[in-house]
Structure 1
Amino acid sequence: MKPVTAQELAAALKRREYPDPPLQLLAEAVNHIADELAPAGNQVPKQDIRNVMDILRRHRHFDHMHLVGLAWHDTRRCDALIQRLLAQAAVELGAFERADELLDEADKAAAASPKDLDFIVQAADYQGLRGRIRKQKSVLTEDVNLLVEATECYQKQLGSKPSFFLGVNVLALRTRLHDLGIDHPGPPLAALAHEVLGQAISAARSDPVDPWPLATASEACLALNRIDPGHEWCDKAELWLYRFLGHPGAGPFEVESYFRQVRELWKGNPLDGSLCSGRLAKIFERHVMRTQHRWSADARQLQRLQDNPGELEKNFSGEKAFTVDDVRKMLAISPNIGCVTNTNGVRMGTGFLMPGAAFGKPYPLVFVTNAHVISDTVPKALKWEDARVTFEIEAASGVDMAHRVQEVLYTSEPGKLGNVADAPGKLDVTVCLLRSTPKDASGLSVATSIPLPSPNTKAFVVGHPQAGEMQFSLQDSVLMDVCPQERLMHYRTPTDPGSSGSPVFNQDWEVVALHHAGSQACPRFAGSGTYEANEGITLQAIRRGTGVNV
């Protein structure tokens, strides 16, 4: 029987079960677990927390994973596995410095308990995670020294814990260094690539349940194509990739992990099919659009589209999910959409810039997000002094700026999902003034009316999920219903964790609502029962809340 209460779901998570719960119920269950850990004297088995964090990791709920791990960390001694999972969650949420600090704590705890077998078992994974941190930082900064440090971390881990997974990371990093004219010590790249390929093929045969050998074989062939260019190796890389994508164990976490490697280390651009990495990236992009109904684009890809209009016609003509004109408009709105982080750089949600006049405020631009993301009164929300806002388009131009909040202009606490009785209050919104804004931002356009629900009426969501770049949710984007008070709207637009605070657009790319939650069992506005839907607060209701006549 599926859990119906937060306590029942919390118990299932502790058993490492994930019964595909409604997102709101999942958040309640995670908060319940964190509250259990708050009193240091409460007897909560560490294995329960390990199970919870691991199952949340598998389903890419890194925010919830981080919350549970932090609750343990702040009230109990350092546990070897929980500490590693907490550091991994911090990495996935973009808090690289904090992740390094957590690993430093683990190393100190291991030194203080040299006979603790848990720390001995986790030692190699700590080293590999340090490699991941340096790899991600090198991608962001293009610092070759960090790339070398990442390679050495993985090579050290490979020496103590040989595996095809570690081998392919060393292979990718060393190949990247070779492309930059730096030869790092180790066996010849071609020999290493053949060795990793052989290990992966052997593992795929001996353990067909594991999808990772298939991804590794694909990446080894990609490396061989780079080392010894030829269509044969790229064709093999594609073949292994299709096998990986078709594997029942290749879920969103696994797919995104390899896709990220292709994008970041192999510089695979879906817009460039002249390279093998670009061909693989295009296959990934189509797969994600088809299976997860979203299109993600990093800042450099967006910049390339802006600088080369011909790419639009070449790559998006005939696309069923959206037109070339849609992409042009998406590029225009991108500078206005930001990612909300805490002081450690942990991604907490999304927000967007709009003209201050839309809310009766005498400022050129204001920043809009959920109250459950930024608020001094909502539990677990960021205090406004601790909030930072980054804009991906700035990063693409070499501007590394975290914009701070100067003042909260209006806030309204969240209400329960589908609860129209709370109208006109409980809008789950915070409107604030930032101390600075990107130079290319002009604010998103306000829709003059709420669209009428129909099978042909679309609702598009654009935001920053917690583990990736800017994401455009475009397919299956049907506006399902609007409550009679025109305060809430429901739409079947796919969103990932971290989309809280995203703008919801109509078909003219004007803002109609603020996204705040979703559920597989969302209460219907009309009649009884539930359905699968996401929910947004209409911009008209928010504007009325700020005192604007609409």
Structure 2
Amino acid sequence: MGYDQSSLTKLRKILAPLYPREAEQRRLIRDAGLDETLIALDRSAANSWSEILNHASRRPGKVEAIIKLALEEHPENELLLRAGEDRPPEPLLGDAIFAWAGPRNAGALHEKIIGEASALVPTSYLALGLKCARAVAKVRLASGNVGSAFLTGENTLITNHHVLPDPSSAARAVAVFDFEQTLEGVDVKATEVRLLPDRFFAASEEDDWAAVSVEEHANDRWGKLALRPASVKAGDRVNIIQHPGGGYKQMSFFANTVAFVGQRRVQYLTDTLPGSSGSPVFDRSWNVVALHHAGGWLREPSGDPKHAYLRNEGILIDAVIDGLARARRAGRGGA
């Protein structure tokens, strides 16, 4: 098939978080049969993938070859599957753009809040978000699979049950903190931390959460995210700090509207990828309101079962708080 610039841009947005490192990009370039010496890679993954895909699009079958290789490594990535089936995901579109010649009543015009709620936040908003990001880690399993997680009090790591389903898998996994880059694009020195399920482990398959102790002093070094009952409703905005595709730590806070809240589930439009499972979902005040766990064509638990929506979904943090409290009261450890 032929790929226009719009399709290539969509593919770039899919592939850049999956393969942010130059070494990974060069491997795919070679495996797809492209000459890496003809492609100018950049410190920015987005720029590099723009170069790679533009180069590949001028050579028959090479974009398809890249998608095929990526699908072999990420077979459950719905966005890649749709791209491979010539059904690239459609972007969410805003209102139509029109030619504006200026207001007729310019003298009486005043600035306005556009929308139902103000999007203005203090400059400290960014600093607080970065502080919260310290407590977010990548989970790497013995199988090589990855997820995301975050620290809460008592040196306890929170993630999904489908990431760490039992003490055995937790004992063979590690949490990787500071897997990110500086402003200059230089890798921060990451730290691997052992999980200690013999000290404490609890999980719920129904609500898809797991909690496990980590090595002492983790809270002293990376802080913690407080767990409090959530106040979140449809129309709110939520941000997610995550390790999409097992790559560098990233934040998602564009197109981040909450679409549904009910039956201990929160559905939203905030972007994630495989590997983001176990990420904290924050409200605009950086309170944790949900534990991200799934995405795709989802049904609303209390809605019409015939209707599905392309959304992401988290477990309302209240479910995690309640289950964790019960486990601690029971003195559960390693079970």
List per-residue Cα deviations over 1:404-457 (Å, max 9, x = no partner): 1112421111xxxxxxxxxxxx1111100012427532201334432232x3x1
- Change over 3 Å in CA distance of 1:516–1:351 after alignment to 2: same
Tell me which residue corresponds to 1:374: 164
Cα gap change, 1:531 to 1:135, in 2 (>3 Å): closer
For residues 270-289 of structure 1, the C-alpha deviation after alignment (integer angstroms, 9 at most, x for no partner) is xxxxxxxxxxxxxxxxxxxx
Counterpart in the other structure of 1:520: 297
Asked if 1:212 is matched to 2:67, the reply is: no
- Give CA deviations for 1:117-150 in whole Å, capped at 9, x if unaligned: xxxxxxxxxxxxxx936989xxxxxxxxxxxxxx
2:241–2:249 Cα contact (<8 Å) kept:
yes
The verdict on how the C-alpha distance between 1:493 and 1:525 changes in structure 2, with shifts beyond 3 A counting, is: farther
Query: How far 1:467 sits from its partner (Å)?
Result: 5.0
In structure 1, the residue matched to 2:317 is 539
- What is the TM-score of this pair, normalised by structure 2? 0.60
Q: How far off its partner does 1:322 sit?
A: 7.4
1:292-317 Cα shifts (integer Å, max 9, x gaps): 99xxxxxxxxxxxxxxxxxxxxxxxx
Map Cα deviations across residues 225-273 of structure 1 (whole Å, 9 max, x no partner): xxxxxxxxxxxxxxxxxxxxxxxx79x97xx9xxxxxxxxxxxxxxxxx
- Higher relative CO (Cα under 8 Å, sequence separation at least 6) belongs to 2
Q: Give the 3 Å change call, closer, same or farther, for CA 519–452 of structure 1 in structure 2.
A: same
Q: Which residue of 2 aligns with 1:410?
A: 202
Q: Percent identical across equivalent pairs?
A: 22
Displacement after TM superposition at 1:371 (Å): 0.7
1:435 aligns to what SS in structure 2?
A: coil
Q: What is the aligned partner in structure 1 of residue 103 from structure 2? A: none
Q: Equivalent of 2:149, from 351, 357, 365?
A: 351
User: Unaligned 5+ residue runs, structure 2?
Assistant: 1-12, 43-50, 71-90, 94-118, 329-335
Distance 2:220 2:92 in 1: 33
- How many positions carry a matched residue from both structures? 247
**Shift in Å at residue 401 of structure 1?**
2.5
The one-character-per-residue Cα deviations of 1:161-188 (angstroms, maximum 9, x if unpaired) are 996x32236x769xxxxxxxxxxxxxxx
Cα 1:395/1:471, change in 2 over 3 Å: closer
Q: Distance in 2 between matches of 1:213 and 1:292?
A: 26
Q: Structure 1 residues 390, 373: CA separation in 2 closer, same or farther (over 3 Å shift)?
A: same
Which amino acid counterpart does residue 38 of structure 2 have in structure 1? V
Are 1:391 and 2:177 matched, yes or no? Answer: yes
Going from structure 1 to structure 2, the CA distance change for 1:60 and 1:134 (only over 3 Å counts) comes to: closer
**Shift in Å at residue 496 of structure 1?**
1.3
The 5 A counterparts of 1:249-268 are: none
CA contact (8 A) 1:337 1:353 kept: yes
Task: Give the Cα separation in 2 of the matches to 1:368 and 1:477.
Answer: 22
In structure 2, the CA distance between the partners of 1:398 and 1:469, relative to structure 1 (3 Å rule), is closer
How many Å separate the matches in 1 of 2:55 and 2:25?
22
Does residue 1:444 correspond to 2:287, yes or no? no
Displacement, 1:351? 0.2
Distance (Å, rounded) in 1 between the aligned partners of 2:165 and 2:54: 42
- Whether the aligned pair in 2 keeps the contact of 1:394 and 1:438 (CA below 8 Å) is no
After TM superposition, give the deviation of residue 524 of structure 1 in Å.
4.8
Give the corresponding residue for 2:7: none
Query: Once the 2 structures are TM-superposed, how far is the Cα of residue 482 of structure 1 from its aligned partner?
Result: 1.8
Tell me by how many angstroms 1:464 deviates.
0.2
Which structure 1 residue ranges, 5 or more long, are not aligned?
1-57, 63-88, 95-130, 137-153, 174-199, 201-209, 217-248, 257-290, 294-319, 356-362, 414-425
Q: Deviations over 1:18-39 (max 9, x none)?
A: xxxxxxxxxxxxxxxxxxxxxx
Paired letter, 2:227: V
**Of 472, 496, 507, which aligns to 2:251?**
472
Query: Whose strand proportion is higher, 1 or 2?
Result: 2
In 1, the alpha carbon distance for the partners of 2:25 and 2:309 equals: 43
Describe the shift of the 1:349–1:215 C-alpha distance in structure 2 as closer, same or farther (beyond 3 A): farther
2:274 corresponds in structure 1 to 497
Partner of 1:300: none
Instruction: Tell which structure's C-alpha radius of gyration is larger.
Output: 1
Rounded Cα–Cα distance in structure 2 between residues aligned with 1:329 and 1:459: 15
C-alpha RMSD of the superposition = 4.4
Task: Name the amino acid aligned to 1:409.
Answer: F
Q: How does 1:163-242 map to 2 (within 5 A)?
A: 165-168=35-38, 211-212=54-55
Counterpart contact for 1:339–1:347, Cα < 8 Å: no
**Per-residue Cα deviation, 1:325-382 (whole angstroms, up to 9, x for no partner):** 33222211111000011247x3511000011xxxxxxx2x2100001001228xxxx8
1:393 deviates by 5.8
- Structure 1 or 2: larger helix share? 1
Partner of 1:298: none
